[in-house]
Amino acid sequence: MTRTTMKRLTAIALLGIGGSGAFGSGSPAFARPMIDPATYVLRGTGPFSLSMALANVTRLPGGRYRLSLVAEHLPPPTILRAKFARHAYVAWLVNGKVMDGPMRIAAVGLVVTGGSGNYTGQETVTISGVTSVIITAEPTARAHMPIMPMLAVLTSTNHQM
């Protein structure tokens, strides 16, 4: 990762969208939810002001988190104007509590569920903690990190336990 990429990700963290800490790795797993269910409400601004999402995050044993997300009214990512073509939406679980090292994030690709801009995502990922959830438009749903320039579509506005 280049120094410029790290500076941009750090700037995003300071704006309240993310935090500091190494990228988490996503791995599908089927486990019984154990503790700390949390709900995040994600809202968009500008061209995404009508879009919204609800993300349920459940902490599982072994530093794993289960994400179930439903997003509504997202435009097709292929019509978004960006330097690089975007073909998919990705939800990022962000750990903003770690203060040293690179940012800790884990990705979950979203799947379209109907012709009206509705998307869902459900997966278990490994990450040390979750403080926020964001959705970005990416070239592929199997992204390991956001492409720069990052196109944040929805960001979590609050967290409820």
Tell whether pTM > 0.85. Answer: no
Task: Look up the CATH number of the domain holding residue 146.
Answer: 2.60.40
148 token code pair:
């720069």
Could you read off the pLDDT of 109-139 as tens digits, one per residue? 888 887 778 898 998 898 888 888 999 888 8
Work out how many domains the chain is built from and give that number: 1
Long-range contacts (CB closer than 8 Å, 24 or more residues apart) made by 74-83? 74/48, 74/117, 74/118, 74/119, 74/135, 74/153, 74/154, 75/47, 75/48, 75/51, 75/117, 76/117, 77/137, 77/138, 80/137, 80/151, 82/137, 82/149, 82/151, 83/149
User: Whole domain around residue 139: which residue ranges?
Assistant: 3-160
Q: How many Å from the N-terminal Cα to the C-terminal Cα in the chain?
A: 34
Could you read off the pLDDT of 16-37 as tens digits, one per residue? 333 333 333 333 333 344 566 8
